[in-house]
Amino acid sequence: MQRVLSGIQPSGSQHIGHLIGALDNFTRLQGQGDAFYMIADWHALTSKYESVGEIGPATEELTATYLAAGLDPSNATIFVQSLVKEHAELHLLFSMITPLSWLERVPTYKEKLQNATADLGSYGFLGYPLLQAADILIYKAHKVPVGEDQLFHLELTREVARRFHFLFGREVFPEPQAVLTPTPKVPGLDGRKMSKSYGNCIYLRDTPEQILHKCTREMASDPARVKRTDPGNPDICPVFEFHKLFSSPETVEMVNTECRRAGIGCFDCKKKVAEAVTARTEPIRQQIEERLAHPAQLREVLHDGSARARAVAGQTMVEVREAMQMPSY
Ligand code: TRP
Ligand code: SF4
């Protein structure tokens, strides 16, 4: 049985980049293996330590989003990182055997350090990928469905596993592999990667009106197409990228031909994108709102899932302590 593990930080609302880049894969993989999906609230602390009050509500929202996107608690273990203290123990043990230089060279580290609004010069932020390695290895995961930006963290995870095996002479952990969706990088409204920090997102909780507004008023199109009679080039237009992700093959084909001969105007083209995005997100949005109206049920999902996760993590830690010759009396 293949073990699957992934997680998302509860540090803000989920957008369609999360849906296409990660959540779709979470859902697909839950039927194929023994799947664990985490709410990484300790990871959220690396940037939210000055606003800890936001993490609880974001945890509930993420749980509702997991369920609305199709995760099923009878098929997948949905849990909260901070309710499984074993992650912290494994992180600490890994911190003893991981060279500092491995963490300092993580590409996302320096980049985020410079762009961040919060002061990220903390010990915990440097150790972020190592905590992630502990999250993954403690469940002996084989597959980790993630976005493209996480590939280096997976590489580091494998290196840490190898170093553990080399030092303690016991193969406790399988080497986990990342699983990407066919289109892991979703463009934002401005054509850059969709990201909260760029303010270019369509959120899963956006209403049809908000989506229509964002698509028709805020979305970039081929800048060379100024007049309605100018032919456009869909290959360089972010709107066309959205069509490819959300519209039917017929619509994609139609836009591809008509744009090039000025047969369709950008406004109509964007309206069509808004409709296609809404068709995908509106059922999810409604489910998220419905789930959020019943917080006791959400907490029960997390309570039960976290108990299951603790049982598995606890078993791995017995092996880890044995390999490291820690006392068991
Ligand atoms: N770093 C991941 C992200 O920002 C979240 C995460 C934490 C994670 N622990 C994980 C992802 C373990 C996969 C596996 O998206
Ligand atoms: Fe882009 Fe559509 Fe306008 Fe063509 S018609 S430039 S694909 S928005």
Burial of 149 (0-12, 13-18, 19+ CB in 10 A): middle
Domain at 66, CATH number:
3.40.50.620
Closest Cα to atom 3 of ligand 2:
266
Q: Would residue 261 count as lying in a domain?
A: yes
CA distance 53 to 262: 51
Nearest alpha-carbon partner for 38 in 11, 69, 3, 66: 66
Q: Which residues contact 295 (CB under 8 A, 6 or more apart)?
A: 60
pLDDT at residue 108, as a whole number: 83
Provide the CB-side half-sphere exposure for 314 (13 A, CA): 8
Question: Positive or negative CA dihedral for 156, 13, 211, 279?
Answer: positive
Q: How far is the CA of 97 from the centre of ligand 1 (A)?
A: 21
Q: How confident is the model at residue 182 (pLDDT cuts 50, 70, 90)?
A: confident
95 occurs within a structural domain: yes
Give CA–CA dist 320/85, Å, rounded: 15
d(CA 105, CA 262): 48
Residues 134 and 22 placed together within one structural domain of the fold:
yes
Domain interval for residue 46: 3-186+295-323
C-beta 255 within 6 A of ligand 2: yes
- Give tens-digit pLDDT for 68-116: 999 999 999 999 999 999 999 999 999 999 999 999 999 888 888 887 7
The verdict on residue 191 lying in a domain is no
CA 245 – ligand 1 centroid, Å: 24
Asked whether residue 181 falls in the same domain as residue 108, the answer is: yes
| pLDDT of 197 strictly over 90 | no
**In whole numbers, what is the pLDDT of the chain averaged over residues?**
95
| Residues 127-141 pLDDT 10s | 999 999 999 999 999
Do 136 and 78 share a domain, yes or no? yes
The ligand 2 atom at the shortest distance from the C-alpha of residue 234 is: 7
Residue 19 makes CB contacts below 8 A (sequence gap 6+) with 69, 204, 280, 281, 284
Q: Tell me: the pLDDT tens digits for 279-301? A: 999 999 999 999 999 999 999 99
